[in-house]
Structure 1
Amino acid sequence: MTMLSIIYTTYNEIDIIERSLATVANWSDDLVVVDSFSDDGTAELLRRTEGVTLRQRKYVGPSDQKNWAIAQAKHEWILLLDADELVTPALRAEIEALLAAGEIPHDAYWIGRDNHFMGRRIYHSGWAGDKVIRFFHRDRCRYNDNQVHEEIITEGISVGWLKGRMEHYTFKDLDHFLAKTRRYAKWSAQDYAERTPRVGLYHLFVKPVYRFFKHYVMQGGFRDGREGLIISGVLAWGVFLRYAYMMAERISKKQP
């Protein structure tokens, strides 16, 4: 039987972390939560949760935090989760079967996510094909350096697919969605800076309009009703903010 380490990285997740932990309860003897000094009660909750090891570390970026946590894992195989991801019974059973088999065919595995927003599951709007690598070998996998949408580097490794899925509750409400979009826009401005020598009308108007069209029309956001319209609009706004932040940063550097 191959043993499993379970890792979370958290910051202010008091609203969802208990639900996620319940889906992996009594599964691993190495369940570690790396917390970025939450101030909403998350750390206190984790300290009194049986079977959880809490470690607190200053947050530099998502990849840095996850890669540090991976290196600390006790076992070779890791299930790495965000607090807003819930493991379904089918997914847990599938991973348990792989671990019981002894020899796991791939180095890492894609897992599909069912996204929820404003009280309902979103079937379109560009979220239908959402997937992440969350089950992988500790010594063969690391995250790239992206500040936004960091991912496991797949070059040189074998990646399979799991049939089981996760439930994903990434946004608590509309205010959280807007705040997270603004934060991601600032970070993605750093990721896109080198490939964008000049910010112009194309970046501030054409790309946001296209992003809305892509999510709402091409990816069927209109089929998700009002929620699809909100998602498409906020994601387009995020693209606009990315380049607005980039332009503002460059202007500020030129000023005496």
Structure 2
Amino acid sequence: MTNNMLLSALVLTKNSENTIKNCIESLKFADEILILDDFSTDKTEEVIKEYQFLDSYSLPYKKGTFPQLKFFQQKLNGDFSAQRNFILRKAKGKWFLFIDSDEVVDKNLRKEIIKVMQAENNPYEAFYLKRQDFFLGKKLKFGETANNKFIRFAKIKSPWVGKVHEIWNVQKPGVKIGELKNPIIHNQNLTITDFLNRINFYSNLRAEWLYEQKVKEATLKTFFNPVGKFLNNYFLKLGILDGFEGFCLSFLMSLHSLLVRIKLQILWLQHENRQI
């Protein structure tokens, strides 16, 4: 049977009720949308299933007029690569586009992606996508996030690696990787409390991963690395030009760095105590 699917859009979710609708709407140019949810406790599943079954009067779509949407659930268990690899195995397209639940593909990026897929002599098998971040409602132009880019669009079913801060492992001999001009729009719509909760969650995962890799750091680094991160993001990368929002983000990202190192030190102390 011939597979006529050109693009599979793949999304991971966890308590994304405030952002997932915009994300799904921005992906309606795909042939299929696959969503893997980490058993959300809010209304994420309810919103997704409206699009899956198209049985809501609030949606202007009829069956057959919206991409096929498939919904799966699987516990994260601290491993983002395992989640991405699970959903990638389910995809049937010739091209694969990974988008987070708080990101959207705007019309300019959509046109660029379609142009790439339709090109007969396209030499690239994967593409870096830039990301335009918003924080506390402000578009950020400087600091840590100014030059973010990730491999998110490819036609290679290579696995993702790394439990946290995962990477799509498509960089192999002979594989040409391009870069698209237009960015993904990343508007997390988070309060400071939400952001602090997220920092706590990700710093746990990062510390546990470093501990599993037998990484140890000197106590002095616990202090100096976060301070250096703040100075680099706020002054050298000009986060100061993003105003109050730039200061907040620079500070919070240095706090993340500090928490990772404190938690890593605690894990090693617990390890040493168990050896006594």
Shorter-chain TM-score above 0.5: yes
Q: Provide the alpha-carbon RMSD of the alignment.
A: 1.8
Tell me how many residue pairs correspond in the alignment: 252
For residues 24-82 of structure 1, give each alpha carbon's deviation from its aligned partner in whole angstroms, at most 9, with x where no partner exists: 12x23321111111110111111111442211122231111001111111112111111
2:114 to 89, 96, 100: 96
Q: What SS is found at the alignment partner of 1:132?
A: strand
1:152 to 161, 165, 168: 168
Amino acid at match of 2:38: S
Contact 1:189 1:246 in 2 (8 A): yes
SS of alignment partner, residue 182 of structure 2: strand
State the match for 2:7 in structure 1.
4
CA distance in 1, matches of 2:252, 2:214: 23
1:142 is displaced (CA, Å) by: 2.1
Q: Distance in 2 between matches of 1:125 and 1:45?
A: 34
Alignment of 1:212-227 (within 5 A): 212-227=230-245
Aligned residue for 1:189?
207
2:146 is the alignment partner of 1:143: no
4+ residue stretches of structure 1 with deviation over 4 A?
none
The TM-score normalised by the length of structure 2 is 0.86
Secondary structure in 2 aligned to 1:255? helix
The answer to whether the Cα contact below 8 Å between 1:71 and 1:138 also exists between their aligned partners in 2 is no
Q: TM-score, with normalisation over the residues of structure 1?
A: 0.92
Equivalent pair of 2:5/2:92 in contact (CA under 8 Å): no
Q: 1:59 aligns with which of 60, 76, 85?
A: 76
Amino acid at match of 2:18: D
What is the DSSP-based 3-state SS (H/G/I as helix, E as strand, rest coil) of the residue aligned with 2:99?
Answer: strand
In 1, Cα distance between the equivalents of 2:250 and 2:115?
Answer: 39
CA distance in 2, matches of 1:159, 1:29: 23
**Structure 2 CA distance for aligned equivalents of residues 78 and 30 of structure 1:** 10
In 2, Cα distance between equivalents of 1:239 and 1:152? 23
8 A Cα contact 2:26 2:104, kept in partner: yes
| Secondary structure, aligned partner of 2:39 | coil
2:112 match: secondary structure? helix
Structure 2 residues not aligned, in runs of 5+: 55-67
Percentage identity across aligned positions? 25
Asked if 2 retains the 8 angstrom alpha-carbon contact of 1:2 and 1:100, the reply is: no
* Superposition deviation, residue 200 in structure 1: 0.9
Deviations 1:153-191 (A, max 9, x none): 243132111112111023512112111112121112133
Where does 1:1-256 land on structure 2 (aligned, <5 Å)?
Answer: 3-25=6-28, 27-49=29-51, 50=54, 51-60=68-77, 61-139=79-157, 141-145=158-162, 147-156=163-172, 157-170=175-188, 172-193=190-211, 194=213, 196-201=215-220, 203-255=221-273
CA distance in 2, matches of 1:114, 1:97: 21
Structure 1: which 5+ runs fail to align?
A: none
